[in-house]
Amino acid sequence: MKSPRKGLWAAPVLLLLPFYTLASPAYEDRPRARPSTGHTCLGCVVVVSVIEQLARVHNATVQASMERLCSYLPEKLSLRTTCYLAVYTFGPDVIRLLSADMNADVVCHALEFCQRDPGQTVCHLYPLPKEGWKFTLKKARQIVKKSPSPKYRSSSDICSLPLLAKICQKIKFTVTNSVPFRDVDSDKHSAFPTLRGYHWRGRDCNDSDGMTYPGRRPDNWDVHQDSNCNGIWGVDPKDGIPYEKKFCEGSEPRGVILLGDSAGAHFHIPPKWITASQMSLKSFSDLPRALTDELNWPQLSGATGFLNSTSGIKENSIYLHLWKRNRCNHRDYQNLSKNGASSQNLERLIGSLSRNPLLDHPAIVIYAMIGNDVCNGKTDTVRAMTTPEQFYSKVMETLKYLNSHLPNGSHVILYGLPDGTFLWDNLHNRYHPLGQLNKDVTYERFYSFLSCLQISPCHGWMSANQTLRTLTSQRAEQLSNTLKKIATTQKFTNFDLFYVDFDFQEIVKKWQERGGQPWQLIEPVDGFHPNEVASLLLADSLWDKLQLQWPQVLGKENPFNPQIEQVFGDQGGH
């Protein structure tokens, strides 16, 4: 009997797969995201680890732990049903293997989710078995062979299996149908939160009218309707003056537009999704929504976040700063970020910029390609990095595009690249969330596992090799210097141009002064991205620098803010 067992098992695996598929710099070259063998292996190891740890935490059987994990999953996107189906078809092998004291690496190799190419080293997250790898794997394979479960053909394309097609399709839809690949103007602003909706750019307050959108100059002072969605419209009955004219004329409204990568989109995998000791019925409630935002949380990002911080810090995003400064800027934000975006592939994203040079207010554009020009998962990572010449040429192309699409009086800020050596320095000997229960997986091990699978988001910095880390930092510095040179030598008619350093050390210092530790600023699960606190600290520091050096970028404080709040309340929210 041919049973699509591997496909079914891959269902829970699939939940975790997209995180590296989407975050991987190579992603842009593969818009029809199909998990690589490396991602499949990682997904399997993560899920089997979680099952094993759930059993330990609750002193329960493997069977009960698999069912527990499924019961935590929401039914949206058919996640829970598919999980139960996977347990039913695939559970027996996992039970037998884990009961024989095999670890997740061995389980996933025995079940062929992880494969070792001839001549390659074994990729493993946990320490190698004491009895030796070959011997243990042979034993594990015998256990699987003897298993009464139906056997099945191996399939590298899990999405071709009928039972999984639906879920795959939903994930593919999320990934490929997002607005950056559309160029229909009326689709750019949406009344729906995810799938590149208002989590990403200001909510469309009238979806049926293509001439109504955040950021435009008001039509006839918005006497009859709110043409720019800032929540200000109508006429003051006391004096007959339109509110938009009274409160906003001369206040020089402006929006913020981020051209960013996964860091700008705030890529985030909550640790509670993979930490057995913290898992509960509530843990995965935000998973379906996060999947439809490509595992990004732009609504909480440093550039365009509009929700209050979940970490409780008082710092604001650039957008919220602008909104507090001038309430006429309400909803005027666009987060044009994509996992894997770099100077070299930004042209595919920038077409989704929504700004009419004649009809709209000026914008502050932040160019923040902070990692993927030096970060890649390739074995020969230095060769795959963008050279300063390639960088110069593409940045200039982007600026020319902006010059022809931005209203006159706009501002463009080129944001430098960080020195990513802080990742290794602060994390390598700490435990990854998967290693905290048994004190076995450090970030050094985690990084090396990702590099071995060739799916590291940044082989150059997430490496034990100091020379390689230094080379990566040197290239990043060269690219930052290229941006600096462009900012000081180039002039454009529709915007002025500035360069600002990505100064991680500065925010680490600020954080330490508040009693924090540097590692608390990095995403725990991926060990790579700046987390929400770091993003907000960086945004705040950028805001301070702009205010000090180039206050004209930010515009004036609107003296009518209190009246706007009095008349329009929360201006329709976000």
Interface residues with Ca ion (CB under 5 A) are 222, 226, 228, 230, 232-233, 244
How far apart are CB 558 and Ca ion at their closest, in Å?
A: 14
Measured from the CB of residue 218, what is the shortest distance to Ca ion in angstroms? 5
d(CA 338, CA 349) in angstroms, rounded, equals: 8
CA nearest to 540, candidates 323, 257, 318: 318
- Beta bridge partner(s), residue 333: 256
Q: Judge contact between 212 and 204, C-beta under 8 A.
A: yes
Choose, from 36, 65, 227, 262, the residue flagged as catalytic.
262
* Beta pairing, strands 410-415 & 495-500: parallel
262 is catalytic: yes
In the bound state, the residue with its beta carbon closest to Ca ion is 222
Shortest Cβ 231–Ca ion spacing (Å)? 7
Give dist(CA 417, CA 459) in Å, integer.
16
Smallest separation (angstroms) from Ca ion to the CB of 200 = 21
> Residue 130 and residue 444: Cα distance in Å, rounded?
20
User: By C-beta, is 196 or 331 nearer to Ca ion?
Assistant: 331
Measured from the CB atom, the residue of 211 and 281 that comes closer to Ca ion is 211
Coil, strand or helix at 174: helix
Query: Cβ of residue 389: shortest distance to Ca ion, in angstroms?
Result: 46
- b/e 259-290 (16+ beta carbons within 10 angstroms → b): bbbbbbbbbbbbbbbbbbeebeeebbeebbeb
- Which amino acid is residue 363, in one-letter code? A
Decide: 57 and 72 in contact? Cβ < 8 Å: no
Shortest distance in whole angstroms from residue 254 CB to Ca ion: 14
At residue 216, the 3 state secondary structure works out as strand
**Residue for token digits 């210097």?**
481
| Whole-number Å distance between alpha carbons of 556 and 215 | 17
Kindly state the DSSP code that residue 149 receives in the 8-state scheme.
S
Q: DSSP secondary-structure letter at 230? A: S
Helix (H) or strand (E) holding 368: strand 363-368
List active site positions: 262
